[in-house]
Every structure is written in C-alpha cells, then in structure tokens.
A and B are shown apart, each in its own frame.
Chain A
Amino acid sequence: MAAETSEQGYQQVTVADIVRRAGTARNTFYENFRSKEDCFAATQEYAMTAALERVVDAAGAVERWPQRVRAGLAAFLSYVAAEPALARTCMVDALSAGPAAVEYYERSQQAFVSLFRLGRDVSPRGADLPETLEEAIIGGVFWIVYQRLAAGEVAAIPDLLPELVEFALTPYLGAEGARRVGSGDADGPDEAPDAEL
C-alpha cells in the first residue's frame, strides 16, 4: 500500500496494484481489509505508531527537556528518512485520502504536543506563552519535512535537525539557548535557560 501510494498517489492506487505489489491474492487482501480506505487507515496507524514509539523511546532516554526535544526530533527525522514511502503516505498522501485520514493525521500531530508542552516548565515565559504555540511549532516541523518528502529530498531530512531544534526551542529558551541545543553544544550539565529572551 505504502509503496504504491507513494509512487502513484492515493486516488490512483487500486486494490489490484496493492495485491500485485504485495504478491498476495485478492482474496487475502479482503480477508484483512474491507477496502482500499481501510488498508490506508491501517498503514497510517502502523507508521504513526512506529514513529511515535521511536520518538518516545529516544526522548525518554534523556533527562533534560531541551535535549529531550532534540533526541525526539532526531528519532523522528531518522525514521522518516529510513521509511520514506511510509512517511510519504502518512504526511503527504494522507492529506488527499479523505476526511478520516486527514483527521488521523491531525490527531497524531497532537501526540507531539505533550512533549513540547513540558518546555513551559523550564521557560522563564512559560506562563505567558500563547496557548497554541506547540500546535504551531509541530505544524511548522511537519510542513518542512512534508516539503522535503514531496520534493523527493529524503536523504537531506536528518540534516534538518539543528535548524528544527532551534526553531522549536526559540520561543522557550530564546534564540541563543535554542541554537546551542540545536547544534549539540549545550550537552554539558546545568545548562540554564538563558535570560536574553
């Protein structure tokens, strides 16, 4: 499903394409899925779950919040680069696969919100930050990755890490602090959020 969708686009793919690619019988497809839509939803759920597991594992292995964001984003970008067809299906084609797929896409973005929201505890402006900040940051990160996927620039995706970390952390830590975390220069102990906000 993912391979065919990323090559042809969701609207064009047929069940015949999927079973040919998978090397299975049409019967086998219908034993597992009711329809192309159903198969797409399963693909989307599989890939988003896998991506989120990697993000949570990577972020959970690190103590301090700014480095957690960096570790989580690094895991996300390397998953996308390792599974471009799945990632394309979930981030590019999902948007043309009907309301249920778009809704799932939107909802899975929200899973990242909780990771970012912890930053309010370490930011001197935590209480004053806009309510929608995390939603906007994640939307921005996904948009950049989506543009690279749509342009077929898969190999360059992990290299986005420093700038995406900087973009995501600037509202919490200020530009200078965010840049240090993004470039990996802030990995020493007792790195306090700086005061140049």
Chain B
Amino acid sequence: MRDPANPPAESPEYPPELARLPPGRHGLPREFVSHNQRERLIAGLAEAVAEHGYAGTTIAHITRNAAVSRRTFYEHFASKDECFIAAYDMVMTELRRRVAEAFDAEEEWPRAVRAGIAAMLGFLAAEPHLARLSMVEALVAGPVVVERYDAAIQSLAPYFAAGRKDLPDEILAGLSPTTEEALVGGMVSLISRRIFADRTEELEALLPDLVEFTLTPYLGSVAAAEVARAA
C-alpha cells in the first residue's frame, strides 16, 4: 500500500494479496484474491492501471505491485493486454454475478430491475478502481477489450426485455425493438461519465433516476417514478 499510515485490515477475509488491490470495500469472492501468482498479477495490474492509466502502465509496474519476477509474469501472460483482459473478465464476471443475484431475488419485475441496478451501482461505488478499469480504461485497451465491453453492456438488455412479457398487447405492439438497447446505453453513459470524472461517490444516488428512466417505456412515467421512489 502506498499509504503506510492506513494499513489494510488483517483478517481472514482480507488475505495479504488484497492489500495489492486499490483501496475499497472489496468483499470479493475468495477466488478473486487467492494466493496464486496469476491473481496477484491481476491485482497488481488493477493497482497500476488505477495509478498510471492503461497506456501508462508497464509490465514493471505490474510485477512490482504483485511482488513477482518478470519471468513469472510471462509464464502467465503474453503481454500487458492479455493481463488486462483477464482482469477485465474477472471484474465483469463478478459484476454480472451480483446483478443476476439481486435481480433473481425479487419476485416482481419492476422491483427486480431496481435491485439489479442497485447492485451494479453498489459494486462500482465500493470499488472505484475496478469501476475505472472496467468502464473507462477498457475503452483504451484495444479492440479486443472494446468488443467485450460492448458485449457486456448489451448483455444487460434481457433484464429489461423481461418486462415485455407482462405488458398488454397494445403497449407491447408500440414498443420498438431497440428500446432495451437504448436503455442500457443511456444507463451506462450516466454511470461511466461519473466514473470518468472520478465522482464514483455519486453513483448510488443515481438509483431513482435510472429506475424511472428504464421502467418508463414499460410502465409509463408515473408508475415508473413510484417504483423508483419507493423505499
């Protein structure tokens, strides 16, 4: 850690490698931070990218943060890009898992949407450096990552499309096929703009706005606002 006055908590939930991750309330599954070198390298990359940006990150930064040799790095990854992709996939897998879990725990679709969005905002707000890696730095990390980024965002569309099955035919007939794509695009643009500007502390306050925005095409704006503002 760069801040010796503020050492990370020593507890079984926080193995030493987690200290290599940028600060935040991690709560990540044990696999994410386990003791093997590959994961230390990924954590080392996340820390380096948080400090230097993707373009400014070097293999030396990563190996120093991970406390492994350069040779070990190349045993696991062919390049910085490959290490970044591994980190990106790990963050997105975790984000998707949390969204799915929150969504599935709710019975009614509007509340499930709200829970899913809340889970996403909560994760990104608690992990500002991982948020930056996955939503900002991913865009400068080359075409392979950009393609994955696009696919990851589009993969959120079915959560909204699930609302179609409860709609009366006359509303359904009027709902254009690109509705869900526009909703995820709008939602992500609000989120990534705040991450880009280093204002992740504002993310969770976006919840009511995002819920109203995404439910409006299905429920109308008055009913959408009620779900959005429900405690």
Contacts and interface: CB of A to CB of B under 8 A. Distances in A.
A86 B183 CA distance: 25
Contacts of B55: 98
A9 interface: yes
Interface in A1-23: 9, 11
16 contacts: A95-B146, A106-B196, A109-B189, A131-B209, A133-B209, A136-B190, A137-B186, A140-B181, A143-B184, A147-B150, A160-B178, A163-B179, A164-B182, A174-B221, A196-B220, A197-B221
Interface in A95-146: 95-99, 102-103, 106, 109, 125, 128-133, 135-144, 146
Given A130-B213, A166-B174, A170-B221, 4 more contacts: A103-B196, A132-B213, A135-B186, A197-B221
B186 A140 contact: yes
B53 to A, nearest CB: 8
A179 interface: yes
B76 interface: no
A135 B212 CA distance: 13
Given A9-B143, A95-B139, A96-B142, A197 B182 contact: no
Contact of A174 (B146, B220, B225): B220
Interface residues of A, number: 45
Nearest to A143: B185
Contacts of B178: 144, 160, 163-164, 167
Given A147-B181, A174-B220, A179-B174, A133 B140 contact: no
B188 interface: yes
Contacts of A196: 220
A84 B139 CA distance: 20
Interface of B: 53, 55, 136, 139-140, 142-143, 146, 150, 153-154, 171, 174-179, 181-190, 193, 196, 206, 208-210, 212-213, 216-217, 220-222, 225, 228
Nearest to B143: A9
Contact of A125 (B143, B146, B188, B222): B222
A125 B184 CA distance: 23
A118 B179 CA distance: 23
Contacts of A130: 208-209, 212-213, 228
A176 interface: yes
A139 B153 CA distance: 13
A9 B213 CA distance: 33
A132 B190 contact: yes
Contact of B150 (A138, A150, A171): A150
A175 interface: yes
Minimum-distance CB pairs A-B, first 10: A143-B185, A139-B189, A140-B186, A163-B176, A140-B182, A130-B209, A136-B186, A139-B186, A95-B139, A140-B185
A155 B15 CA distance: 54
